[in-house]
Amino acid sequence: MQVKNKPVKPKGKLGILTPGMGAVSTTFIAGVEAIRRGKAKPIGSLTQMGTIRLGKRTDKKSPMIKEFIPLAELDDIVFGGWDIFEDSVYAAALNAGVLSRETIEEFRPFLESVKPMKAVFDQRYVKNLSGTWVKKGKNLFDLAGQLMDDMKTFKEKNKCDRLVVVWCASTEIFIKPSRVHQSIEAFEKGLKENDPEIAPSMVYAYAALSLGIPFANGAPNLTVDIPALLELADKNNVPVCGKDFKTGQTLMKTIIAPGLKSRMIGLNGWFSTNILGNRDGEVLDDPDSFKTKEESKLSVLEHILQPKLYPDLYDNFYHKVRINYYPPRGDNKESWDNIDIFGWMGYPMQIKINFLCRDSILAAPVVLDLALFMDLASRIGFKGIQEWLSFYFKSPQHAAGLYPEHDLFIQLMKLKNTLRYIQGEDLITHLGQEYYD
């Protein structure tokens, strides 16, 4: 990937549009506003808190990432989005129950001012939800046109210089790529003929990419992971990335599994179960939506542990993931992992993890970083799949013929080296021989 334009400090406002204004999106918006007002620190955000080492260790040069690479400022962000419920971000945040009422009240006028636009929705894709704030149109092509109008109007009204779209809406049912997804021509024909294989998330992505707006996919849906939309991204020079924000239990998996593998510790089985009671949990209570999530969660260990390369350690390990909808917990998910491992001479051991996590608290900074990095990617002329952003995803999108890189530490190295590459700095290989010459 070539850096076509040298990165310069962006001018003007960046509009971040999220299809879906539920728990993740409202926590993200309220959090950025709290940070802008000096009421919170951007904890969990690499773009805001991370540093990047440049040169040798003896050079002692580790600037903040946001000082090293020109990213949009938080003060220049404007928020918008779509939802199938008419609630403002204030009402939706109260409903999501992630942040305390006290916190939400503190920013009430601001949060009330952010209102969703009418959504493109099809209940076949999210069976457990039905909403009223939904667009009507002649066909999907017409609906895509309406979304494009929304984007243009939002940009104009808010005097934005640039837009980024981050999918924060519910997980759609599991579908496999089919003929209508294979080329932009087939896809556009499908839009006009209301092809049932075109999911609403694809209509949003099509609208964004048609206008040259970067699209990041925070859910495990196929969405931009189809040849037709990748073709469109390539044609219009737009960056895309996905899928499924890496938070919670899977984040822990991608921290622990590379550690076990690096020490050649074997694995017999990994059982993961969760209880959660938010709207996301309700949607995932439908087996078809759960299947999409399950595929995304299951692939992680296989790719990290590489059983084909290490059959004695990882052949046929048993991996199970369960998500149980349990309303009393709301967004405060609890997860349990039982990991059956074995060591020297095959002696078995166990690891138990009980993670009392807050999903949207982990996801909000991911939305921020993705929006800022996708804006950067677009400004410097990166197009198509942004694999260097795998760090943020459970099922990283990757080029055909490659396997995805799931190891969080390799992902971080890749991300930071990409930033060094963009700025023309030496890449860091961690060889370090020069210190001993």
Footprint of ligand NAD (CB under 6 A): 19-25, 82-85, 96, 119-121, 126, 129, 131, 168-171, 200, 218-219, 244-245, 247-248, 278-280, 283, 359-360, 362-363
Nearer to ligand NAD, 87 or 188 (CB): 87
CB of 158 to ligand NAD, least distance (A): 19
CB of 404 to ligand NAD, least distance (A): 16
Nearer to ligand NAD, 296 or 378 (CB): 296
> What is the bridge-based pairing of β-strands 334-342 and 348-356?
antiparallel
CB of 90 to ligand NAD, least distance (A): 14
Nearer to ligand NAD, 309 or 356 (CB): 356
280: phi then psi, degrees, rounded to nearest 5: -60, -40
Nearer to ligand NAD, 248 or 258 (CB): 248
Edge-first strand listing for the sheet containing 266-276: 318-325, 266-276, 334-342, 348-356
CB of 311 to ligand NAD, least distance (A): 32
CB of 150 to ligand NAD, least distance (A): 11
Nearer to ligand NAD, 68 or 79 (CB): 79
Nearer to ligand NAD, 244 or 314 (CB): 244
Nearer to ligand NAD, 333 or 420 (CB): 333
CB of 155 to ligand NAD, least distance (A): 19
CB of 362 to ligand NAD, least distance (A): 5
Nearer to ligand NAD, 121 or 187 (CB): 121
Residue nearest ligand NAD, Cβ-based: 22
Q: Which of 24, 44, 42 is nearest to 359 (CA)?
A: 24
CB of 42 to ligand NAD, least distance (A): 17
CB of 289 to ligand NAD, least distance (A): 8
Nearer to ligand NAD, 174 or 317 (CB): 174
